[in-house]
Chains A and B, each alone.
Chain A
Amino acid sequence: MSDSGAVTTGGGQPGAAKGQAQIPAPPKKVKLLVDGIEVEADSRDNLIEAARRIGVAIPYFCYHPRLSIAGQCRMCLVETSDAPGRLVPGCQVRVKEGLKVTTNSPAVKDNQRGCMEFHLINHPVDCAICDQSGECKLQDYYMEYDHQPSRIRVQKLNKPKREIFGPMVVYDAERCIMCTRCVRFMDEIAKEPQLAVVERGSHSLIATFPGQPLDSKYSGNTVDICPVGALLNRDFRFQSRVWFVNKSPAICAGCANGCNVYAESRGNVIYRLLPRRNEEVNQVWMCDEGRLTYHATNDKRVEWARTGKGDSAASVGPRIAVDRVVELLKPLAGQGGIGVAVSAQCTNEEATAAFQLGAHLGATHYFMGGQRAGDSDDFLIRADKNPNTAGVRLAAEAFGVKLHDIQAVDQVKALVAMRTDGLLPDRLGHLEVFVAISQNEDAASSEAHVTLPCKSVYEQDGSLINWYGRLQRTWESVPAQRADAAPGWSWADGILKGLGASGLESAAAAFRALAEKSPHLSGLSFDDLPEDGIVLEGLLPSEWPARAPRPAPGAHSVRGPQTTPPGTKVGDEASGGSR
């Protein structure tokens, strides 16, 4: 409707209905009064966003900044000077110059209390068994705006519970408050309209077409945006209560997109991955496959450093294992016939350490392995199922080595493998010395003469470069130590020191070693990397999938952090930030 390119359909961001993220041009400013305080708002803001700018929280269930407006829950009703004596929905009404908004008048408070009461009339008494406890909007808003006892004296309505919608999602109709966020998400963002509202009145349900599952690759996001425990993640269901787990930022290790995530963990186990906001990588979404990548951190790990293989394998301490590696490699150093294998799953620091070790050993061949390629789409899923292919290639270029395919290991007699993804066990039998720094027990790690347990990407500080050249930091997201596991660069550091060379004391040191060699990283320091990553201009591709989030055009060699909108609780970005 507007010809200035401003948004024509709902959502707080332009083009949100089309599912595209565009960092908009500097917007027009509008001044209005919210609760007597002057706010300078964007002209495209609705009242909720305008109030959020000054920290005034207007509650909402069905509104989501990235979806179209439903106006269904009536929780965000506020008073405005344009409509005296009436309440208007804060999600639908645009800001206007000079508008006076009141969010704390008795009428508004009564509406909030009444809305909560209505929403809770048929809500089952499920808190004790519902996964959403601790992150449930009904609970939060009830304590904030209602906190009155129930007034109903009749039976609650019974509806289908624990309906399996799809491979990732299970639906409980009794808990559903019919906000339709999931329906709108599937329509507008996932672009696969697999959900719809059926039945009428208080018997309404969300349903898929009969016989069709909710099998979109982005179905897991409906669980994030569901404000109550109606849609739940089948993988996480009943695994842990949310207040037991610690949230820490990381990067998904599922594919080259490098979606920013929160890893929720307790002890040395990760329970869940949630998307983290990064407008230029994944907005606030992630794909289902990425959500499952944490299992590799929990299951079938190489735990203890061991020497020997098969029946003669013995768990020795890390120091003894490293000594054995040095003992095996020292006579072969510089003689030729040593190969170093890296994986596209390595962080930049691990790859750097591997190449530095290879340089010291005089390795003749370098191999790159990784997970096999898979399918891709036009949004977040990339065919390359390794998070750091670009990073390993950049490191290889920096060290001046050529990377061969991992299948060609029969060209060397001794192999040091920094992560064993892609190594086929039947090609390893000829190796005289095989040192594997590996994360999971696979066929290859059982062939190694010395196996050193490697920390996963979620358990170490490191940096990764995604498919379009964005250098992103990941943090140690698991607070407890798992057996002997250490980051790959730390093992390489021990081996280098044993061989008499200087090692790499920390991830920052490894990054510095790489930055010194690579022109793309010149001037960057590990500790000062911005939280949301830096685009390495030299690596930008020319082709972009249709809906993939992309960095804004223009100079962006160093960008400041994209702050979460004021008033959004950290960690709550995917769910729409209504608290």
Chain B
Amino acid sequence: MSQALIDLVREKFPEAVVSSHSHRGDDVVTVKRENLVEVIDFLRNDPQTDLKLLRQIAGVDLLTYRSEMSGGAALASIEVPAYDVQNKPKVEPRYQVAYNLYSITRHHSLRVRVELRSDDLKVPSITSLYRTADWWERYVYDMFGFEFTGHPNLTRLLMYPEFVGFPLRKDYPVRKRQPLVPELDFPDLVRGPGPGPGGAGVPMSQTHVGRENVDPSTYD
């Protein structure tokens, strides 16, 4: 469909393109990380391409892509034996970041991909090109842990700040528990009156209204 776009990118940036393919109507070009910003800049601003809409930035972790133990069997493999994750050959490059670009005027789209190794998770940020990249990069950072260099505010988007780990990585178990976070203290926070006669922060059950000589440990 937009094979022309891939050809254009290959023509303009021959040394930046690692690979390209078309699958089910989607055109994908994989570029080197160093050239990412200039390629996307070109794709955005060149009048032939005019890919002004950044639809999505998606991350993929390919760690278990070839594993036989994943997939199949609706209910198994939630408890994956440690042998499987430890001893299967490491997949490198392990991660991919996919930028999905679209042109509203020309009705064509292109997916630009960058591959990352598991020990080197830096990606240049494209917030200077698209304002919407801000939140998408924060989302991908939150879920995978890629570091988008040059991002003005690379903090977690969906998870709370004390969250440990990166959930969408394949070695993050589905049922993993998080450490308990102590309650944050706001000394200047003004609290309103609580629900019960005991005042703020005292649950109704502790107010002893109408209850006498009751052992508070027997109820909440």
The answer to whether any beta carbons of A and B sit under 8 Å apart in the complex is yes
**Interface residues in chain A, defined as those with a beta carbon under 8 Å from any beta carbon in chain B:** 134, 243-249, 266-267, 475-477, 479-480, 531, 569-571
Q: A243 and B73: CB pair below 8 A?
A: yes
In the complex, how many angstroms separate the beta carbon of B218 from the nearest chain A beta carbon? 27
Supposing A569-B68, A570-B68 touch, asked if A246 and B81 sit within 8 A by C-beta, the answer is yes
Distance between Cα atoms of A384 and B212 in the complex (Å) = 72
Distance between Cα atoms of A245 and B69 in the complex (Å) = 11
Supposing A569-B68, A571-B68 touch, asked if A475 and B74 sit within 8 A by C-beta, the answer is no
Residues of A close to B160: CB separation below 8 A: none
Chain B's interface: helix, strand, loop or mixed, by majority? loop
Q: B73 and A479: CB pair below 8 A?
A: no
Of B68, B69, B79, the residue contacting A479 (CB under 8 A) is B79
Supposing A569-B68, A570-B68, A571-B68 touch, asked if A244 and B76 sit within 8 A by C-beta, the answer is yes
Residue of A nearest to B84 (CB): A248
- Asked if B77 is at the interface (CB within 8 A of a chain A CB), the reply is yes
Interface residues of B in 75-95 (CB under 8 A from A): 75-77, 79-84, 87
0 or 1 for each of B43-79: is its CB under 8 Å from A? (1 = yes): 0000000000000000000000000110011111101
Residues of A close to B84: CB separation below 8 A: 248
Closest 3 CB pairs of A and B: A243-B73, A248-B81, A479-B79
Report the contact-size class of chain B (Cβ under 8 Å from the partner): 10 to 19
Q: B80 and A476: CB pair below 8 A?
A: no
In the complex, how many angstroms separate the beta carbon of B31 from the nearest chain A beta carbon? 30
Distance between Cα atoms of A477 and B72 in the complex (Å) = 20
Of A246, A249, A480, the residue contacting B76 (CB under 8 A) is A246
**Interface residues in chain B, defined as those with a beta carbon under 8 Å from any beta carbon in chain A:** 68-69, 72-77, 79-84, 87
Q: B83 and A249: CB pair below 8 A?
A: yes
Q: A266 and B79: CB pair below 8 A?
A: yes
Supposing A569-B68, A571-B68 touch, asked if A475 and B83 sit within 8 A by C-beta, the answer is yes
Residues of B close to A246: CB separation below 8 A: 76-77, 79-81
Q: A479 and B81: CB pair below 8 A?
A: yes
Mind listing 28 A-B residue pairs with CB under 8 Å? A243-B72, A243-B73, A243-B74, A243-B75, A243-B76, A245-B76, A246-B77, A246-B80, A247-B81, A248-B81, A248-B83, A248-B84, A249-B83, A266-B79, A267-B79, A475-B81, A475-B82, A475-B83, A476-B81, A477-B83, A479-B79, A479-B80, A479-B81, A479-B82, A480-B79, A569-B68, A570-B69, A571-B68
Distance between Cα atoms of A244 and B74 in the complex (Å) = 9
Residues of B close to A248: CB separation below 8 A: 81, 83-84
Residues of B close to A243: CB separation below 8 A: 72-76
Given A267-B79, A479-B81, 9 additional A-B pairs, CB 8 A: A243-B76, A244-B76, A246-B76, A246-B77, A246-B80, A266-B79, A479-B79, A479-B82, A570-B68
Distance between Cα atoms of A569 and B74 in the complex (Å) = 18
Supposing A569-B68, A570-B68, A571-B68 touch, asked if A476 and B82 sit within 8 A by C-beta, the answer is yes
Q: A244 and B75: CB pair below 8 A?
A: yes
In the complex, how many angstroms separate the beta carbon of A574 from the nearest chain B beta carbon? 16
Residue of B nearest to A241 (CB): B75
Residue of B nearest to A569 (CB): B68
Residues of A close to B80: CB separation below 8 A: 246, 479
Residue of B nearest to A527 (CB): B86
In the complex, how many angstroms separate the beta carbon of B215 from the nearest chain A beta carbon? 28
Q: A477 and B68: CB pair below 8 A?
A: no
In the complex, how many angstroms separate the beta carbon of A167 from the nearest chain B beta carbon? 29
Residues of B close to A245: CB separation below 8 A: 76
In the complex, how many angstroms separate the beta carbon of A267 from the nearest chain B beta carbon? 8
Residues of B close to A480: CB separation below 8 A: 79
Distance between Cα atoms of A246 and B80 in the complex (Å) = 7
Residues of B close to A267: CB separation below 8 A: 79
In the complex, how many angstroms separate the beta carbon of B41 from the nearest chain A beta carbon? 42
Residues of B close to A244: CB separation below 8 A: 75-76
Residues of A close to B73: CB separation below 8 A: 134, 243
In the complex, how many angstroms separate the beta carbon of A481 from the nearest chain B beta carbon? 11
Residue of A nearest to B87 (CB): A531
Residue of A nearest to B76 (CB): A243
Residue of B nearest to A478 (CB): B81
Distance between Cα atoms of A246 and B84 in the complex (Å) = 10
In the complex, how many angstroms separate the beta carbon of A165 from the nearest chain B beta carbon? 29
In the complex, how many angstroms separate the beta carbon of B69 from the nearest chain A beta carbon? 8
Distance between Cα atoms of A245 and B81 in the complex (Å) = 11
Residues of A close to B77: CB separation below 8 A: 246
Residues of B close to A477: CB separation below 8 A: 81, 83
Distance between Cα atoms of A134 and B76 in the complex (Å) = 11
Distance between Cα atoms of A432 and B84 in the complex (Å) = 46
